[in-house]
Amino acid sequence: MANRVPSGPEGVPFLGSSLQYADDPLGFMERVAREYGDVARIDVYGTEVYQVTDPAAIRRVLVTNAANYRKPSLGGDEGLGGLLGDGLLTSDGDHWQRQRKAMQPSFYGEKLDEYGEIIVRDTTELADSFSDGEHTDIHAEMSELTLRIVVESLLGARIDGMERAIREALMEVGERFQPGPQGFVPEEIPTPRNVRYRRAVDRLDRILREIRRQHEYTGDEDDLLGVLLDRRDDGALSDESVRNEMMTMLLAGHDTTALTLTYAWYLLSKHPEVAERFHDELDSVVEGTPTVADLADLDYLDNIVTETMRLYPPAYVVYRQAAAADELAGFHVPADTIVSTPQWVVHHDERFFSDSWEFRPERWTDEFRRDLPPFAYFPFGGGPRKCIGDGFAMREAKLVLATLGTRFEFDLVSTAPLDLVPLVTLHPANPVEVTVRAR
């Protein structure tokens, strides 16, 4: 095994590179890769982190040697684990494997077709509410739409009238995970941020209890919540574990798709030639309301979604922790080392994507996809822990874009650059204001 140790920024005593990272996480990761290469060593608040941006090494971490790279706690109860408990996103080991296996059927096969009908119906309801010429925050609209879709699809309930309250509570929860020392302040210390966070979690828990009550009367025993409740009744899950999985779906099940849709509308508004081709394809394929069957013929739409997640990956970094020593790209990785694999950096690497900061959906030809190294593009992670809802999310994003795109264009109001805030996922710093234009 190699004994080479990667280089990296020296930082300052005690804090390492923590302040530089907290000040500009995305720019910091870019600089580290540019200055120190595909494997770099970073000190973040006294924790040694290896940043890995070589696709072959990323594949080893996430796939070929995945058994050696477990989900790290990254703050334990003060991290996401304090919010999601033993939910699928944060758990590990036997519990995670059992949950993943039990939940898998809810995301494949005929269930996806059923979800497609819900996606189109809910999106059509949103379209019917728009007026030509009105101004709106498209990120807020997409967040509330994807919340409705995920709750109705996976949790078997309608949340009419609760979307805004849920979105605002989730935004307050997300504030706690901004990079910086405040993320390590114990939850019981009543800082203003912690107080807002605790109140937001309490509101979300009340909403989850209401969803469960509604499911008792209207839910499908085969939807995800039905599966979880069956496992609870069989003694395989506690009530708390059911709550944790519901919270996980509420947070992770809508957020990344809402962001993908927000960035797609932003990019289409900024690139009228792409928007024209997008609308032309819809007009040539879709008759009336889009259906799941139409997606097979909407190739350019697929390219738009794929390129959007390359340019603005909602999940911008994946962390793992080495159980035993390993070797990555010729460097020694000691046991217990935290390894980061940042999509943000790899997706903008000129070795794999020419004009990597440009929005070019046409780059995604069959030949380009075939020649692209595995894990030069990995918006949903990879390996055993690849996002369980990747198929659902892709179908949802394309159906929402198609359903709204057949009826509207969205003209960006602001001319300022899109500022990004890396929370748990990559969020716009400000509202994304658009004018609705009927076609």
Q: What is the CATH number of the domain that holds 51?
A: 1.10.630.10
* Structural domain span for residue 327: 18-438
Does residue 275 surpass a pLDDT of 90? Answer: yes
Banded model confidence at residue 181, pLDDT cuts 50, 70, 90 = low
The answer as to whether 96 is a domain residue is: yes
286's CB contacts (< 8 A; 6+ apart) are 294, 298, 402, 406
Q: What is the mean pLDDT of residues 252-257?
A: 91
The answer as to whether 34 is a domain residue is: yes
Q: What is the mean pLDDT of residues 116-144?
A: 97
The answer as to whether 191 is a domain residue is: yes
Tokens at 208, concatenated: 């989850």
At residue 122, the pLDDT reads: 97
CA 402/CA 390 separation, integer angstroms = 18
Residue with tokens 């798709």: 257
Strongest mean pLDDT among 103-112, 183-192, 242-251, 402-411: 402-411
DSSP string of 194-215, one letter each residue:
HHHHHHHHHHHHHHHHHHHHHH
Residue 428 DSSP SS3: strand
Does residue 76 surpass a pLDDT of 60? Answer: no
At residue 144, the pLDDT reads: 96
The answer as to whether 51 is a domain residue is: yes
The answer as to whether 6 is a domain residue is: no
What one-character DSSP code corresponds to residue 249? H
Please count the structural domains in the chain: 1
296's CB contacts (< 8 A; 6+ apart) are none
CA 398/CA 110 separation, integer angstroms = 18
The answer as to whether 319 is a domain residue is: yes
Banded model confidence at residue 429, pLDDT cuts 50, 70, 90 = very high
CA 229/CA 233 separation, integer angstroms = 6
Q: What is the mean pLDDT of residues 406-421?
A: 92
At residue 75, the pLDDT reads: 47
The answer as to whether 5 is a domain residue is: no
The more confidently predicted of residues 236 and 354 is: 354
Does residue 384 surpass a pLDDT of 70? Answer: yes
Average pLDDT, the chain: 91
The answer as to whether 4 is a domain residue is: no
Contact 25, 179 (CB under 8 A): yes
- Strand pairing partners for 44? 16, 47
CA 84/CA 64 separation, integer angstroms = 28
Does residue 183 surpass a pLDDT of 60? Answer: no
CA 406/CA 278 separation, integer angstroms = 10
Contact 411, 437 (CB under 8 A): yes
CA 357/CA 350 separation, integer angstroms = 9
Does residue 77 surpass a pLDDT of 60? Answer: no
